[in-house]
Chains A and B, each alone.
Chain A
Amino acid sequence: MGQPILEKGTGKTLRPILVGAGVPGLTGWGQVVSSFAGAVNLRHPQGLLVSLVEDPRNMTSLSVCVPALFRKQERRLFPGKRVRLEGPSLATEDFVLDLQGRPIWQGRITGEDVKGLSPSKILLLKQSLVSMGQDGGFLGLLRREQTDNAFVSKARRVLAGGQVLCGLVGLGPGSTPSGDDFVAGVLMREEAKAVAAHREPVIPWSAEKEGLRAAMDRTNDAGKTLLWQALHGRFPSYLIEAVRSVSEAKGQQEIDEAVERAVSHGATSGTDALVGFVFSREGTFEEP
């Protein structure tokens, strides 16, 4: 990279209100790849995206919630800008994000999130999803009828061929491919089961996970980022919130509301992830 752009002392220090658990472990030079009204995405050389977000509801274990960055639009980061990830801090030419001592956001499923999950609730969740889910991604997997969606046809063929989750990585439309959201949803279901059964939260490594690890490099940054976290048992805030809401729900309506909130995330991301969540490993959607 040559030029040491951050040698001189920078003026401003910003303090985030939440730091994703995975962020302090990533060091190196990052570069801003996209800048939105409420989020700035940095690309770490490993291909993982670190997001600086304004709203805590958009947290992931690779996010930093720093509302101060989005106030007054001063010193905004825009595509191309370089950011140095130093572990305890993120540094740009204009400011430093000091992560030390700030609350860590884990992104794990806990007992509290799943204690009310039951087979009947999963069924209600599925029904809600069928009627309220956003089409265009993998929602078609929940239906049995013919589809003209080539991605759904392909996904069905992959799933019919055996438990080949890796075959879904990178498949589908969206800035995060639908398949990646789907797989994250499946992994979240596994995690939820393990937690509910009072097993250690970390599911033991398996051949399937090895396969997914390898497949991760065949999808884009956004998909890789999601899967990397899921393989470590970490999930985006909006999904954990959805699971918890379903767990605590006392009836169909509350489940509907939880689904409505989740499927409004992204275009089809929320829908695809929940489709994965209700997907039964036996290849059917009957039994949880």
Chain B
Amino acid sequence: MKKIILRKNAYYDSVFLMLATQALKQAPGVREAVVAMGTEVNLALLREIGLLAGEGESARPNDLVIAVDALSGEAAEEACRIAEEILKRKRHGKGEEEYRPVSLDGALRVFPEANLAVISVPGRYAGREARKALNRGLHVMIFSDHVAVEEEVELKDLALDKGLLMMGPDCGTAILNGKPLCFANGVRRGPIGLVAASGSGLQEVCCCIDRMGGGISQAIGTGGRDLQDRRVRGRMMLMGIEALKRDPETRVMVVLSKPPAEEVAAMVLARLEQTGKPCVVHFLGRKPSASGGSIRFSANMEEAAAMAVALSKGEEYREISRSFSNAKMATVAEAEVQNMTSEQKYVRGLFAGGTLAIEALALFEQEGFKVLSNVRKEPGLALRSPHRSEGHTIVDMGDDVFTLGRPHPMIDPSLREERMAREAADPGTALLLLDVVLGYGAHEDPCGPLGETVASAKTAVAGRGGYLSVIASITGTERDFQNIAEQKKKLEAAGCLVLPSNYQAALMALHVIRKANTRWT
């Protein structure tokens, strides 16, 4: 069983590489291990001896290639894990030690002009490091979750006191000064400033803005609890709004969050009014209140983007420009259900982005469908087991119950793929609704394996005389390294319908499910 690990632009010390090679050769079940730079002639040699595969093919001379041939799949996996572990440690020999500070103080001695700390260490340590960083005058982004809410409140109070950003905990996305932080996309610069209490939501809105020709000044993340937990009371949301109010590059503001606690919402809206800039507010899953003053409420994330772009161009917003009109959607839906069996009725939404799942869920609920989900906690709406769908089901596969001990589905698609196969085996499944997120932090080719899984799921259902509809949206931009056009092609080649936004994908799914449930009457 052969496996390749690639490290792009690797500048490791030779002695380290030699030790790594020895360690790999001694790993149980390893027949052969080669560690070398990805030069043409080395790749040719690896190919000759049958060790070149997968991403090794695309290696460049400055990339490090580790090729392993083991007696079994498990041994190969284990060897790769050992290799990854070794590369992480970057052990040295003979005095050649790579300089990497182990403490924040050490880091600041060497880099006193640092202005931002990005923290993704385990949650129980993250708060402490964040406090140190704030006390040293750094702005902070905490990607980690599992930080106690009391600690979050203390950190945000400290940040308020010092006038610094404290984005997080559980802040997966931010774009500052045009630079993507953690999971983020390459988005055009422009006059729209965003403050969001949601990672994948912020990604979706920013990508829609980019697609519509708009641009962003800053996208500040507040962390998931900022508005939802009364104790945190929107501390960072309010700071973000204040900063964007004073930012000359920001002319339009967008606020995005799951529905906040009532009095927190009131505070946020009042503060937005005071900015004197036009604002678009989207509280997911909540129907828009009547817009008033300079605040407009959007009905979905794509609309929030469209409204913001119109405002930034000084135009009046009319409606989203859709790939398919309602009439066209009905036609497409008709074609999709043509070959379904009478048992196929249910939507199975499998989402990597939590906010994207919520948006789809809200849309179905608004249209009168009863949908179970692991996102809902109320009895009757909560899935009894998140691993098993019942009736209409929408699942957030990034939820803790799935990610404990495993990488997030945005990085590792295998868990979702297994679930897709199970849904395809369920005769009640009519439709799979999916999200794909591109950009930094995400998988380098999500639609490759996903496309294959879609194809085999469809084949499995067709083999039983039915038809599986698969609908997806891709959250990404042309600047993202995964190549959004290629990704879309891969899904479409597998028979998946690809819509340009999460909202439109959910809407299309709605049409299909309606048709699937009414055609027999």
Contact = CB atoms under 8 A, between A and B. Distances in A.
Contacts of B34: 150, 173
A3 to B, nearest CB: 10
A136 B111 contact: no
A170 B40 contact: yes
Contact of B97 (A37, A75, A79): A37
A128 interface: no
Interface residues on B, range: 35 or more
A267 B96 CA distance: 11
Given A78-B99, A171-B42, A177-B42, A220 B37 contact: yes
A78 B15 CA distance: 20
Contacts of B89: none
B176 to A, nearest CB: 15
A150 B49 contact: yes
B13 A175 contact: yes
B39 interface: yes
Contact of B62 (A35, A76, A150, A220): A220
Given A150-B49, A170-B39, A175-B37, A78 B18 contact: no
Interface in B1-47: 9, 11-15, 17-18, 21, 34-42, 45
B113 interface: yes
Judged by DSSP, the binding face of A is loop
Contacts of A151: 36, 45
B94 interface: yes
Contacts of A266: 14-15
A167 interface: yes
A79 B98 CA distance: 10
A93 B111 CA distance: 11
A174 interface: yes
A35 B99 contact: yes
A22 interface: no
B49 to A, nearest CB: 6
Contacts of B42: 170-172, 177
A219 B39 contact: yes
A52 B12 CA distance: 17
Interface string B357-376: 00000000000000000000
Given A37-B95, A136-B21, A173-B35, A269 B41 contact: no
A267 B13 CA distance: 9
A154 interface: yes
Interface string B108-130: 01110100000000000000000
Contacts of B98: 34-36
Contacts of A136: 18, 21
Q: Which of B41, B97, B98, B99 has the most CB of A within 10 A?
A: B41
Interface residues on A, range: 35 or more
Contacts of B9: 33
Contacts of A170: 37, 39-42, 61
Interface in A60-86: 73-76, 78-79
Contacts of A33: 9, 11
B473 to A, nearest CB: 33
Contacts of B18: 136, 173-174, 267-268
B94 A175 contact: no
A37 B40 CA distance: 31
Interface in A120-176: 136, 150-151, 154, 167-176
Contact of A221 (B17, B62, B95): B62
Interface in A80-113: 93-94
Contacts of A74: 109-110
A253 interface: no
Contacts of A30: none
A218 B61 contact: yes
Contacts of B48: 154
Interface string B213-251: 000000000000000000000000000000000000000
Contacts of A34: 11, 98
B62 A78 contact: no
Interface string A172-185: 11111101000000
Given A37-B99, A173-B17, A220-B39, 16 more contacts: A36-B96, A73-B99, A73-B109, A73-B110, A151-B36, A154-B45, A170-B39, A171-B39, A173-B35, A219-B39, A220-B37, A220-B61, A223-B61, A267-B14, A267-B17, A267-B93
22 contacts: A34-B11, A37-B95, A37-B96, A76-B99, A93-B113, A150-B34, A150-B45, A150-B49, A151-B36, A154-B48, A171-B41, A171-B45, A173-B17, A173-B21, A173-B36, A175-B14, A175-B37, A218-B39, A218-B40, A219-B61, A221-B61, A223-B37
Interface of A: 33-39, 41, 73-76, 78-79, 93-94, 136, 150-151, 154, 167-177, 179, 218-221, 223, 264, 266-269
